[in-house]
Structures are given as structure tokens and as C-alpha cells.
Structure 1
Amino acid sequence: MAAYLDRDQTGSEQVPAQDAPPPPPELVALAHAHGVDDTYDPGSGPVPVGPDTLVAVLASLGVDASTPEAVRSELAEHRRTVAARLLPPCVVVRQGRRTALDVPAGAELAVELEDGGRWALPKGHSHWLPADLPLGRHRLTAKAGPREASVALIVAPARLPEPQGRSWGFLAQLYSVLSDRSWGMGDLGDLAELARWAGHELGAGFLQINPLHAGMPGAPSDPSPYRPSSRRFADPVHLRVEAVPEYAYAPLDGYGPRARRLRAEVLEHDGLIDRDAVWALKREALQELYAVPRTVGRAAAFRAFTAREGEWLERYATYCALAEVHGPNRHEWPKGLRRPDSPHVAAARAELAERVDFHRWLAWLVDEQLGSAQRAAEEAGMAVGLIHDLAVGVHPDGADAWALQDVMAEGISVGAPPDAFNAHGQDWGLPPWRPDALAEAGYEPFAQLLRAAARHAGAIRIDHVMGLFRLWWVPAGHPPTRGAYVRYDAEAMLGVLALEAHRAGAYVIGEDLGTVERGVREQLTERGILGTSVLWFERDWQRKGEILPPDRWRSGCLATLTTHDLPPTAARLSGEHVELRHRLGLLVHPLGEEQDAARTELAEWRTELTARGLLPEGADLTPETLYAFLLATPASLVGVWLPDAVGDPRPQNLPGTWDQYPNWRLPVADGGGHPVTLDRLAAEPSTARLAGALADALGRRTPPSGTV
């Protein structure tokens, strides 16, 4: 039989992506039926997706498209399945809108509300769900003769509220913010202190931090917070050990000197943050605290936490215990342990009961300290409080990929297609949700993830929010250029997000930088989801890339000068960011051209700010003047990169590098690269000066210089 795969018998690629033949019409029809696009646009016009890519992506969705006969069979089966359905796999509607359901004549519909109530709907060929259904996760049932169906019905708010008034706040990588009490990296105790100081003394309205997701076990670990083992549970490496209540009843005096040595290595010897060493010491101490008998109240609270978190916590703790025995790569475990629902796993869980319970207990401690940090932010008067960051995905070998493998695509990683800035595309090494399986599960795994992220947050930031609409899927063994976009039900994904954020009382910020499909930002705005605007990227591309004037910026956004993936302001103003990329061989153009382009960009900004009266004639650009421009926009939130307060020129992450640069391991430092503690940062005149300008511009009190 003929096959669509354009590979030889050794598996090597015969045709480069740009020369791949267009796929046959029936294969395209099958791809579209399963939400797979057959073209993408790198900015120069549509490019067809190769047949082999479509076959591989469909295979990850459980669809056999390897031959023309298989394609015809699968297409016919899909059409039969859709025609035979009484209801779609899941129904997501907006409160306040009547929603039509196409069901057979004479069908009976009813809604079983999550609170136990019931709504019976009138008969008819075209049924309408009423506009006044209560918010929540309900069940919709349909009966038509002998046929019956019951699916999840999610009623979401039509729009989320946006923050009242305007506020500014810090953007910080928590691990990098060490105090004189840290054990070698910033922790949740430091987070609470940072929130108290910034709120009480500086008038900050929020504090956005990096993802605190649980990292992959084992050493050496991946320090990136954007490729975690689990997004549902935070990493216990962030715990402030002394804040665990049992600490008062344990003889842990010997840990103080060891913790001081870890701290001194970073702060006094300009060392890098050693997450593995920090965790090794904390794990040893926490193991001793775990053995301390709990009071009846503490024991009851722990049981309540485990009951609330349910099966996902059970699987997460089991994965952690199994990883201690068999290593972190679940694909290398004994075959019987590779599925969480196998009897072998049940037996292993019983055998490792104490280790499983230890990891449950760690998750509980982190949850408690996260709650304490958010309360500290609220009590400090922050209008928003903590903004937690939700990474776009998880490590393919980690806890979530093991626990949720039935709703995640195997043999696929997500990334970005080639474009004008990166001709090779990107592969992020993260397995995606399967849109079909997610819908069949009533989007409950996604809802639970959002629920956990928003529980102790005033807002949540959704990394690569465009992934709620579509993701670039790269089949295993393919380069990133040979992927395809797979579409999600954006109305459903946004509805689930809106419901969980509403119930948590949290705002939502979408990271919508980079290539954004037309209409996406408009839909996000319609739902009350804030965007992300970075000063250097806000240009009028219809007018030769002119700087976008402040009054044309959108109000529904978090406006910043930089992010964790971009140069700090000090480096951009000095040109050091170009020199760094040159030293590491990352420049696209010759050094001189890149330096000229950087100088031209700064000259344009000097002209712009001078014309607006924000910069004296002939003066140099400063962070204060650039932040003044952000304040002149209508942006709801203005974010200040915390290292900007002390002139740190070093990026926290340099995309395109791995071991060439110490990504995610640098403490906040001054302009000379010397680490600055939270205590010292709070006393720096530059911090008070920058915060004072922001507070004055937003009508807040002028902050005094203070200490933590």
C-alpha cells in the first residue's frame, strides 16, 4: 500500500520542510476534522505542512493516517461518530447569553446543577440553554428515544473584572532575592518580606514572581522554572524551614552554620545559586521535622489538605517516591510502574507509604507558606497582591506527564514555527494537552491546574496565552520546522479560565508576546484578560516601525521595560546586551551592525522622551525616564523589573544558551555584578528614588527610604 510518509527506510528526511509536497485533500480533510492546520504563515505567506508531519501529529491523537485507505476509513469513522452524538463531549457557555444546542426533534434536555438543583428544558429541534444558568460546573443530559448522553456543562462569566485604578509593582525571580536569612536562594519567607516592604513602604500594588512549580527530582537539576515536573504543586525548595511550626520542637541548631555557608557562597563570594545544594540541606532538615509529632490541629489541617487535593496529590506524591527509587525518568521505570493506575503502582505505593506521605506533607507545607505570603501582600495594602506565573507546559518525564498521560500527547513537544526572527523554529520539549481528551474529561484537569495556581494569588499570569488557541506541535524526531499547529477550543479554554479565576477572585494576565494570530488579542480583551506590553516592542509597524505614542497603548495590559528573557534596562542602555550576545556567538548580524542598531534605537527613544518633556535636552536615558513613559500610557499595571532598581545588567535567562551562560542561577546584583541582599536593596537610594517616582505619578504616597 502507498504511504504518505516522506522518509526513507532509515528514517532520515528526504525533503526539507519548505520543499515538502502539499498533502492530499483527504489527508487535509482528516487533519481539519481533528483540529490540525495544514499550513502556517512564517510572515511571508502560507507554507504547507508536509504529509509526514500531519500523519505523525494525527497518530499522537490516536488517528491512523499512514495510508490513503486508513485516511478514508478514519474520515468516515469520524463523520459517523459526530453524526451519532447527541451532545458534544463538553459544553462551555457564557453566563448572560442564550446558547443554541442542535439536538434531534423531541429530545429531552435537563441540567443537573452542581449544587444539586435541576433545570428541565423545553423540547424542540433547536434547544436553547437559558442565559440565566448559574455559574459553575454542571451536567447536561439529553435523551432521544433509546439514546442518552450526559456531559459536563460549564457556565463561565462573560467577562472578568480588571483591576480598579492603576498600580505598579515589582517583577522578581524569587530564587534571586536572597535575604540575610535565606539558605542559599530566595524563599517564601523572603517573598512575604518583599511583599510587606514593597506594599507598606513603597506603595506597590502587586508583586509578580517566576513560576514556583515543582522541579524535576534528581541532580543535577534543570534550574529553569519553565520546564517543571509539576505545575499543580510548588517546589519545597522554596520553603522557609524556620517557618514550619514543627521547627520550634526540633533540635535543628546544626543546620544554621551550613545554611550560612550556602548563603555566603552566593552573597560574599559572588557565587551562583546552587539549587541542588540548597535542596539537599533543606530536605535533610525537613526529614527531621516530618518526624516531629503534629498537634491535633495540625494533623487535622494536613488531612483536610490531602482530601482537598485528592487523586492528583496522590499521584504526584507517588511519582516523587518512585523517582527516589527508580530515577526521575518515568520512561525508564519498570514497565508495570509506567501508568499511575496500574496494580503495580498501587503495590509500590503501599510499600513506599511513608515516602509518599512525606511528599504529601511537603506539598502541604508549601501551600501553607504560599498562603502566608499572599496574606502578607494583602495586609501590606497591595491592590492585587501576588501574581503567580503558570508555565506553558511540563517536563515530559515528570510527575504531571506521568499522572496525566491520558490527556497529554505522547511523542509530541510544543514550540514555535520558523519565522523572520528564527528560521529554525523552536522546540521547547514540553508535551501538550490533547484537545480531544481534554474535552472528554470536561476540562477538569485544566480547571484543577488553574484552581491551584489562583488559590494564593491576586492574579495569575498565563505564559504563552496563545496556547489556549493553538500550539505548534513538533513530532518526536522532527526538527521544529516540521511541525503543525493544533487548535484548541478557545471558547472552552477561556471559559474554564474565566470560571476558575472568578471563583478565586483573581485577575488574569496573558503573556501575548511574539507571533499572535489575528483576533486573539481582541478575544482576550473581550474576556477581561490583560495582555503584556514591553516598551521596546510597542511600535507602529504600519508606519515604518515608529514608536507607538502613549495614548495608543492599550489600557488592559501589564506594561514593562523587560522580562526574564530580555536584557535588563541597565544593559540595554549601555549596549552591554549586544556585547554579551557577541561573546557567546548569538548575534545574527556582524557586531558593528548590531551595535549601530542598538544605538539607533536608543537615539530614537531619547528624541521621543525629549519631545514629550520626560527627558532634558541632551540628557542620557535613565530607567526612571523610561518608566515615566510607561506611566504616561493608560496601562492598568506597570511592572518594574526588580534588578532595575539597583542597576543589575545581567539577564536572568539568555535564550539560545544552555551551559554557556548561568541561566536562572544569578542573584540580584548591583551595577558591578556584586550580589545585593533584600535587606540592602530596601536601603538603596536608587530603589527609593525609582519607587518614589512611580508612587508620585500614580498619586500614591511618596515612600520613605526604609529597611525590611
Structure 2
Amino acid sequence: MTQQLLQQLVEMRGIETRYVDAWGNPATIAEKSKAKLLNVLGYDTSNDEKIQSQISADIASVWLSPLNPVSVVRSTEQINLPVRLPIELVNDEHVITITCEDGKAIEHNFIPVDQEMMTMAHIDDVEFHEYVVTLPFSLPLGYHDVTLSADNDQLGTSRIIVAPQACYTPSEIQQGKKTWGLSVQLYCVRSEKNWGIGDFSDLALLVEKAAAVGADFVGLNPIHALYPANPNACSPYGPSSRRWLNYLYIDVTAVDGYESDPVQEIVNNETFKKTLEHARSEDYVDYEAVAHIKLTALKAVFDVYEEKYLRNNTKQNKAFKAFIEAGGESLDMLATYDALQSDLHAQGKESWGWPVFPEAYKDYYNPAVEKFKKANKRQVKFYLFLQWIASQQLENASSKAIECGMTIGLYRDLAVGVSEGSAEIWGNKDLYCTDASVGAPPDILGPLGQNWGLPPMDPRKLYEQGYQPIIDLFASNMASSGSLRIDHVMALLRLWWVVKGDNAKDGGYVYYPVDDLLGILALESHRNQSLVIGEDLGTVPEEIRSKLADNGVYSYRVFFFEQAEDGGFFSPSHYPVQSMSTLTTHDMPTLIGYWHCLDLELGKDIGLYPTEEILQTLYTDRHENKQAILDTLHGHGSVGHEVGRDVNYTGMDKALNHGMQVHMAGGSSALLSLQLEDWLEMDKPVNVPGTFNEYPNWKRKLTENIESLFERKDINELAAKLTQSRKHASANK
């Protein structure tokens, strides 16, 4: 009986028991994994009686709610609202009142028994009926509030989200323009002026330089807020908040007040200058050094700026207050968290995240936190100030892209989750399952499976919260950009949950309301005029690929993964038009690293491969793949005779490197993204998936300043060839 009840609960909560793995083979999650996943969702699975009781409680909670928390409909669809009522009310007149986003109110009167009845149930000996009420009018795109009432008594509330059919695409791309752009990890950027880490001024300069040689976009790593008091927690994919920005990208020298005497006295101090020089000269970002000099200087700038502008009725103060008001509770939460973590760190207390905060501070809504906030008002204000300055500088870079005529401009990257100790979880504990983590089952990139240490959102809680957390995420990450890349876009359909303490391979898939989430994505995409790219790599069911395409989401096509069954590589001219193509990603080796198998050597050194047999298979596959690549390139005339035809005698050089990039540029995908690392012929990767301390992930800098990079003849010649190939591909669409 237990297994039957468990299976019923598993299905109710959207836990997938069977799936197709990365190699196309059927796979099943273990029975013990089902129970563990239910446990982290809050269920007691210790005996039949408890399981049955919880199933009954879940069913009852639905029937006792007259309206669903939220409904997402497309603009061309009729709006049907399920209404659940006890039988004694079904003959009474009811009123549905819809308050549109613009404040306009619309009423619809109905008698439940006259509507189509869907189903019925008995809850605590009371008979309930569910009807479908079809609204006799359409609603504009947007977010609309719903109330259900009878005899002036409010019975329930809901929200209707009306979304367009598909995400936004710029008109030039709709008309067939083929674009190319550069992808960059912003922290990697070297320049003549930055403080040991790329910043938003570097980004504006990179935009200007790239646009001048034909690029239509610059793609970024996630620039989410990390941890000012814990700078070595530097993964852009394990942020504190995905709604706000990493203050380390602020160009301190561009902030009003930097030139003042008090600030100049600090930055011209010999110790400060020595630390700055160290941070600039290192080949890997020294996050502790960068954080130290930036926070020191920014606090001094804030003192000057506050005295000059924020204590008076200035336009700057009005703008600052408007920013704080618009940011609402989410912004206050982050600033409070950063101030509190900084204070605990200064006291020498363990402070990596809220799980180790003193008990009174473990929740944003605790009275002690409010007391701390009032007692440390100015420190909280400083972190609000950092977010304000960061948003202004990012907007300046985005405006530069528009000014330079880029078709897309900046494209931002939305991480799949936040880390366990994050401000985002600290302020919304109900939404996250902190006893589990997001990851991936074993696949080609990670044969052991992956555990990313990111607690997942509970899909039911997300639904109960009217999808507001997702709305806020999409809207904030589409700001100051022309496109949004969604990392691990399968998260809109399902996520691989790994219970704390288990191996990644022992996890299971939990499903999310994909159609609702795609509707919201389409709505925010149009509101922000942001093209959407979905990173659909790894274990991807076909159902999500076609669904994403129908919803206007651009696929992600990586050359090395686009292979036919015979081992040959598909021509980029066969890629979907509705896609962004690329040679490599931040999770892959560079072109040199791939060709010379440096990633396999590194993986062996740090123990990524369970057996020597697996490693040797990878070497053999790589050798065969490289020969197939040479065959493809020569077959399409993408490289000349200076590039050899035999893999045994052909190394990666500039001719092969540039030939591969130009080969991609002749393809059919609307967007082509190229890595600056490959322009610079670098060999070390940005990130090695599945590693933590084994490799210095998210730290390796570019080998050249962006100022000199774009003065190089070979770089300008490559850019010209890319632009010409893209124009040719557009003409042949």
C-alpha cells in the first residue's frame, strides 16, 4: 500500500519517475529517491496513515479555495476561471471583479449552477462543485487582480496574467538579419584603467569597440549580486540575489565624488596603491584584494556624495529615493543582508550565509533584524547606494550599445538559482527547499552528475505566490539590455533535485508549470523589448525544445554538440534560424584547450573521471571528432590549404581558429556568439563543471587589454570576415 500512496503523492507533486538520459537511454529514479524528494517538499512518508492524511489535506486545500491563486492565459485565448464552491452557494448570484493593471474595473455576474460543472468532491462531509466561468470579454496584456464575491462578501482573490503568444524579436532579425557578437565574463576583462576586475566602464568601451568592427551584441556572464563581506564566493552562478547587481563591477573612478580630496587621499595612500597594483597585475582575479580597495574607496565616495546630495532636496536625492521605492522589499532585504553580514564578519563571527547567522538574525522578518536595520541605518543606506550606482553604470553601457547602433546591444544571463546562504532565500524561506539542491544527472559534460548547491524553488509555493518571484526575476534581468539568456532553460519545465547528502546521480526530476512560466517570459520580453535565448544543453526532452520554439525562445546551438549519428558535424547552415550558435561556452574548454585535449588532462589531474577506461574513451572520441571537424571545414571551404587535413599532424593555430569562427558565421542561426578567449587564442578555461576548489573557477582574466585588442590587424581582419559572412548568410536566407 505504501508504494501506491507514495506514487500518488509523487504524481500530485510533479516528481518524474522515468526520463531519457543524455545518451538517449530510458532511466528510472530509485524508490528511495522518491520518498526523499517528498520529504524535502515537507511530507512525512514514514507510514501509510500519514501519507494518506497529507494527500487528503492537499486535496482539501484546493477545494476550500474558491479561486486558483493565478491563471496565465494567452491574448488569443478565452479566459476561463475555475470556481469551487460548497453546494449551498451554487444557486446564488456571484460577482467576479477584475481590476486591470491600469486601474480599470470590470464586473461579471454569474450563477454557478448555470455554468459548466467540471467535477465535485466531498470535504468534511460538505459537497463542493467546481465550475468553469468563461469571461465574456478580453483583457489587455498584463497583470490583473481578481476578486470573487457574493452579497458583498469577498470569497476569494486571484490574479490573471494575460501574455502574448511568443517572446519579442527585434524587427531586423525578424526580417532575416544575421548578427554576431562577443560573449565575455565581465570580471575577466583587462583594461588600462580598471582595478583588477572588469567593470561597467570597461563594458561600455567594449561595446563601442565591438560595434565599430561589426558586432551587434555583447553577451555577459550573470552580473547578479554576490557577497560584499565574502568576496571569495565569486561564482556568478551562485549569487545572493538574482534581482540585483554585483557592486564589484562599479567603476569607482566614474562616481561623482571620486575626485574629492578625502577620496584622493585614500586612493593615493602607498598601501592602497600597492594593493591596487597587485590586483591589476594578477592573471587571476584576486577577489579579496579587489573587494578591499573598492569597498574602501566606495565608502569614502559615499561619505562625500551623501554630504553633497543625499541630505538635501536635490535631484540626485529624489532619484535615489525613487530607486529605493521602486526596489521595494527585495532591495531593502539585500541591503540589510549585506550590512548584517558585513557587521558579523567585522566581529569575527561565522557569516558565510544566513544559516550560520545568530538565531535572531536568521530570517529577514525577525524583530531583531528590524532593530539592527534601524540601529545601522547609514550602513544599510550605503549598500542601497551601491545598487543605485551599479544600475546607473549598467544603463550607461546599455545606452552606449543603442548609440552605436547595435541590433541587440547587451545580453544578460539569468542564473538557474541562488546559493544556500543567499539574501534571496533569507527573505523568502517558504519558496525554497533548502534540504535539496539543483543539479544534473550524469551526462557527457559531467559523467558523475552535477550538484550545483542551489536550493530549488517549490513549484507549488511559486504558484501560491502568484508567480511574483519569477516575474520580478525576468523583469529585473531584462533591464538595461536587449536580450536575456536563461541558463539551463529546462528549469522552466523541470529541475534535477538532489537531496542534501546524496550523490548527484541519485536525484530526480521535479516538474514546473512550464506553460505559465513561458507566458510570463513572453509578457516581460515584450515589455522590455528583450529577445530571449534558452540554454538548452544537456539532458533535454524534445517536448521542451518544440515548446520553446513555439514561444519565440531562441535555441542554443554549440558546434561541438551538433553531430550526426555517423560522427560528422552538421553544417551551421542547417542550424535553426531561431537560435544562437557558438563554438564554445563558459563551461567548455577554449578552442586551443579542446584541440590539444588540455581539458582532459586537467580533468584527469583533478579526478573528474571515475576510471581510466572512461578517460581513454574520451581521448579516442576527441581524436575522431577533431578529424571529423577538419573534414567538415575543408568540405565547406572554410579553411585553406595552410590548414592540414590529417588530425595527426594538424595543431590548433590562428588559421584553424579563425577558420572555425568564419565557418560558424556562414550558418543559418540568427545570432552567432564568439568568445573573446578564442580571439586571444587562450588555453585555460573559465570554469570546469563539477569542481569547487580543484580549479580557480570564475577568476582567470583575459590576456590582453581591450584597448590594444581592437588595434590588432589580425583581430580586425577576423571581425571583417565575420561581418561579411553574416551579411552573405542574410542574403541567402
What does residue range 385-534 of structure 1 map to in structure 2 within 5 Å? 385-419=409-443, 422-534=446-558
Q: Secondary structure of the equivalent of 1:150? A: strand
User: Which residue type is aligned with residue 497 of structure 1?
Assistant: L
Q: Give the stretch that moved more between structures: 37-46 or 407-416.
A: 37-46
Q: Give the stretch that moved more between structures: 145-154 or 346-355.
A: 145-154
CA contact 2:228–2:291 (8 Å) conserved in 1: no
Q: Distance in 1 between matches of 2:20 and 2:720?
A: 45
User: Which residue type is aligned with residue 349 of structure 1?
Assistant: K
Per-residue Cα deviation, 1:471-498 (whole angstroms, up to 9, x for no partner):
1111222222222211111111112222
- Describe the shift of the 1:263–1:323 C-alpha distance in structure 2 as closer, same or farther (beyond 3 A): closer
Q: Distance in 2 between matches of 1:378 and 1:258?
A: 40
Q: Secondary structure of the equivalent of 1:291? A: helix
**Alignment match, 2:697:** 663
Q: Distance in 2 between matches of 1:665 and 1:419?
A: 25
What does residue range 256-295 of structure 1 map to in structure 2 within 5 Å? 261=274, 264-265=277-278, 268=281, 271-292=283-304, 293-295=307-309
1:643 aligns to 2:677 (yes or no): yes
**Alignment match, 1:360:** 384
Per-residue Cα deviation, 1:669-696 (whole angstroms, up to 9, x for no partner):
2xxxxxx111121112221121111111
Shift of 1:118: 2.0
- 1:120 corresponds, among 88, 107, 121, to 107
Q: Distance in 2 between matches of 1:130 and 1:461?
A: 38
Can you give the 5+ residue segments of structure 2 that lack an aligned partner in the other structure? 85-89, 117-131, 345-350, 645-654, 729-733
User: Which residue type is aligned with residue 497 of structure 2?
Assistant: W
User: Which residue type is aligned with residue 321 of structure 1?
Assistant: A
Q: Distance in 1 between matches of 2:476 and 2:596?
A: 41
TM value normalised by structure 2: 0.87
CA contact 1:111–1:138 (8 Å) conserved in 2: yes
- Describe the shift of the 1:583–1:508 C-alpha distance in structure 2 as closer, same or farther (beyond 3 A): same
- 2:711 corresponds, among 679, 683, 699, to 683
Q: Distance in 2 between matches of 1:144 and 1:435?
A: 31
Q: Give the stretch that moved more between structures: 453-462 or 622-631.
A: 622-631
CA contact 1:182–1:263 (8 Å) conserved in 2: no
Q: Distance in 1 between matches of 2:714 and 2:293?
A: 35
Q: Distance in 2 between matches of 1:316 and 1:152?
A: 27
Q: Give the stretch that moved more between structures: 325-334 or 574-583.
A: 574-583
- 1:75 corresponds, among 46, 55, 61, to 55
Q: Give the stretch that moved more between structures: 277-286 or 244-253.
A: 244-253
Shift of 1:192: 0.7
- Describe the shift of the 1:449–1:603 C-alpha distance in structure 2 as closer, same or farther (beyond 3 A): same
- Describe the shift of the 1:594–1:34 C-alpha distance in structure 2 as closer, same or farther (beyond 3 A): closer
- 2:145 corresponds, among 128, 139, 143, to 139
Q: Distance in 1 between matches of 2:50 and 2:228?
A: 42
CA contact 1:178–1:678 (8 Å) conserved in 2: yes
User: How many residue pairs end up in the alignment?
Assistant: 669
**Alignment match, 1:307:** 325
What does residue range 26-45 of structure 1 map to in structure 2 within 5 Å? 26-42=5-21, 43=23, 45=25
CA contact 1:624–1:693 (8 Å) conserved in 2: no
- 1:190 corresponds, among 202, 221, 245, to 202
CA contact 2:239–2:419 (8 Å) conserved in 1: yes
Q: Distance in 2 between matches of 1:102 and 1:484?
A: 31
**Alignment match, 1:10:** none
CA contact 1:98–1:129 (8 Å) conserved in 2: yes
**Alignment match, 2:97:** 110
Q: Secondary structure of the equivalent of 1:151? A: strand
1:601 aligns to 2:607 (yes or no): no
- 2:72 corresponds, among 84, 88, 92, to 92
User: Which residue type is aligned with residue 664 of structure 1?
Assistant: W
User: Which residue type is aligned with residue 246 of structure 1?
Assistant: G
TM value normalised by structure 1: 0.89
Q: Secondary structure of the equivalent of 1:532? A: strand
Shift of 1:504: 1.2
Q: CA RMSD in A?
A: 2.4
User: Which residue type is aligned with residue 90 of structure 1?
Assistant: V
Per-residue Cα deviation, 1:614-658 (whole angstroms, up to 9, x for no partner):
223572461222122222321111011011112112111122333
**Alignment match, 2:663:** 629
Shift of 1:197: 1.1
CA contact 2:73–2:162 (8 Å) conserved in 1: yes
- 1:548 corresponds, among 570, 574, 578, to 570
Q: Give the stretch that moved more between structures: 95-104 or 519-528.
A: 95-104
- 2:184 corresponds, among 150, 172, 188, to 172
Shift of 1:659: 2.9
Kindly, what percent of the aligned residue pairs are identical?
Answer: 32
Shift of 1:92: 0.8
Shift of 1:147: 7.5
User: Which residue type is aligned with residue 340 of structure 2?
Assistant: L
1:202 aligns to 2:213 (yes or no): yes
Can you give the 5+ residue segments of structure 1 that lack an aligned partner in the other structure? 5-22, 670-675, 701-708
CA contact 1:508–1:530 (8 Å) conserved in 2: yes
